[in-house]
Amino acid sequence: MKSVHWAIVGTGEIAGEFVQALQSMPDEATRYVIVSRNRERAEAFAREHGFARGESDLGRVLEDDALDAVYVATPHPAHFGIAKQCLEAGKAVLCEKPVTLNAKQARELVDTAREHRTLFMEAMKTPFQPAIRRMLEIVQSGIIGPVRHLEANFCFHGGNDPSSRWLNPELGGGALLDVGIYPLSLAYVLLGKPLHLHHHAHLGSTGVDERNALLLTYGNGASASLTSGVRGGDDMSIRVACADGQIELLDLVRWDPQKLRWRRYHEDWQEESHPTAAHPLTYEAREVHRCLAEGKAESETVPLVQTLTVMEQMDAIRQAWGLVYPNE
């Protein structure tokens, strides 16, 4: 497999984390170009992290035949325009979650990707993590029966700065879009599309949801209780109750579980260690590499129908809250 030449659009924290992922696979990934509206910032970031060059003109970068894939690491509102430009240029796109602010934009990106037969994937790390994959393996084996209830929480205190990406509506702030998407996506993987979706949120002084709670119910009688928050408390946990047993994910630092324990009811717990790779974003990059090598325009692990379904759910929830972003 040839080394995949990557461009990263953005120079923020998540861009730096993706650089670490690429650095952990030097034979598979070439750190090619950094793109930022500020050319000096792009060049400085490129020098610091070992990229060939920094640029401010995305259009010029996309004309480069050597470029294989683009990682979109900008604030949420910029995802749509950048991803669309890259897909129209025929470049594979790995776009940070959420891929857009709403489902309408997401559908347009999916249509563009399919029209140009170009790989498009949401950067959703959860289904690639070894502990999550092991959890799904246990569930799918049937040894503890079908899932009856999922409890998943992603809450942390991101501070009180109203201009931060977590609280600023101009940046697509709020718990649901930033971290609530993880529990919602996990619920989709385990249980599919819900029959009913109940919700409650605390909207802060900036107008975005600082905390929220969701209850999803399904036609087979299963349910999911999900919370997310960016202000006022820490709770990162995943528990799955099945008909004949249960699973708990352990050591969820930033929702990167390192262990799990499971049991059949009335039997002893079995604890297993499933540490992540050198960097958890490595799995997303490797999935892009695999799809490109196999000529695929979509990942089976993060299918576009999942991305669209979760975006549609978040749209419905935000509409009920009256939360509309200025950039929509």
Token representation of residue 32: 């090619």
- Half-sphere exposure in the Cβ direction for 153 (13 Å, CA): 14
Q: Which of 83, 51, 59, 81 is nearest to 70 (CA)?
A: 83
Residue 123, helix vs strand vs coil: strand
Which is catalytic among the residues 97, 125, 193, 296? 97
Report helix, strand and coil shares of the chain as percent, to nearest 5: 35, 25, 35
Alpha carbon distance 127, 325 (integer Å):
28
Active site residue 97: yes
What's at 327, amino acid-wise? Answer: N
Alpha-carbon distance of 224 to 239, in angstroms, equals 10
**Cβ neighbourhood burial of 137 (10 Å; 0-12, 13-18, 19+):** exposed
Active centre residues (catalytic): 97
